[in-house]
Structure 1
Amino acid sequence: MEDELQLFTSRYQRFRPEQGAPVRTTVGKPRFPLPYELAGFARFLAPTYGMLKMAEGPYRHLYLERLEGIGVDLIAEQFAEIADYAGHDRLVLLCFCDLSVPPPDNWCHRRMFAAWWEEQTRHEVPELAERREPPAPTLFD
């Protein structure tokens, strides 16, 4: 399954089960009910509690330093374990961040990880698009 594994990112509130196996990448679990079960916890991707109040620059530096220290092989092993447990070759790495907010608050560790992983492995980690509801019918439809 490791060769076929595909990674995506999204946020807890936007994920839908048909997108793949949902994987937690956050220090804490969501405090709101999820309409799906998490397939696993990618603990190597989660920031520390201390990082949560950092500005983007120091956070990015520390987070990327942590990823480098852990390395691609250990992270790939963790992904393979989660994928095997979930029985799915599509993992969706989830966190709380809403990237649709305007700068400077639209950065997130899931996208920092995605860029780092793409640089290290040459495998793209796309952000799943926001689900768009079809417009309601109008009187003229």
Structure 2
Amino acid sequence: MSELPKLATCTYQEFKPDMGTPVRTTVGHPRFALSYQLAGHARLVTPTRPLLKIEARDAYEFSYRRMLEGHVFGNIQRELLRIAGAYDLDSPVVLLCFDRLNVPGNWCHRTMFAAWWTEQTGDEVPELGAQLKAAPTPPPTLFDF
């Protein structure tokens, strides 16, 4: 397989310039001031407006993955490499959106994209923003032995 860009994901709000190259993956621009400049817009990764109307996570993910498959992996790869190459190929392209993953019940297309990318390439796509912490495991009791 040809060259793959390094990828990561985060929110606009949590992104810091030392994390990598900031790239928009949202239908709209942020409606708040950013302390950094966006390097580009990953249009083939961005959900469509009709997708945004789907509220059920499983239906959304099914439709989003169909959209990604329709764009074809090689086209998505080339778009992300083009953005990365214009900046710094050694720095990850950080795919940004608004949804915070540390809020119970929140989910986001960027994590669905990360899972899809990993399935396609074997490369992990780390989330750089805060994530929901798993509930602590209770210590064993006498009845567990």
C-alpha contact (below 8 Å) 1:25/1:43 kept by paired residues:
yes
Scaled by the length of structure 2, what TM-score is found?
A: 0.82
Per-residue deviation at 1:25? Answer: 0.3
Per-residue deviation at 1:53? Answer: 2.3
State the alpha-carbon separation in 2 of the partners of residues 87 and 19 from structure 1. 12
Q: Aligned residue for 1:9?
A: 9
Q: Aligned residue for 1:109?
A: 109
C-alpha contact (below 8 Å) 2:4/2:81 kept by paired residues:
no
RMSD: 1.4
Q: Aligned residue for 1:135?
A: none
User: What amino acid is the match of 1:87?
Assistant: D
Scaled by the length of structure 1, what TM-score is found?
A: 0.85
Q: Which runs of 5+ in 2 are unaligned?
A: 131-145
C-alpha contact (below 8 Å) 2:101/2:129 kept by paired residues:
no
- SS of the aligned residue for 1:92 comes to strand
Q: Which runs of 5+ in 1 are unaligned?
A: 131-141
User: What amino acid is the match of 1:10?
Assistant: C
- Structure with higher Rg: it is 2
State the alpha-carbon separation in 2 of the partners of residues 6 and 70 from structure 1. 20
State the alpha-carbon separation in 1 of the partners of residues 14 and 74 from structure 2. 29
Q: State yes or no: 1:29 paired with 2:23.
A: no
User: May I ask how many residue pairs the two structures share in their alignment?
Assistant: 127
1:52–1:39 Cα change, 3 Å: same
User: What amino acid is the match of 1:48?
Assistant: T
Q: Percent identity?
A: 50
State the alpha-carbon separation in 1 of the partners of residues 70 and 93 from structure 2. 23
State the alpha-carbon separation in 1 of the partners of residues 53 and 100 from structure 2. 16
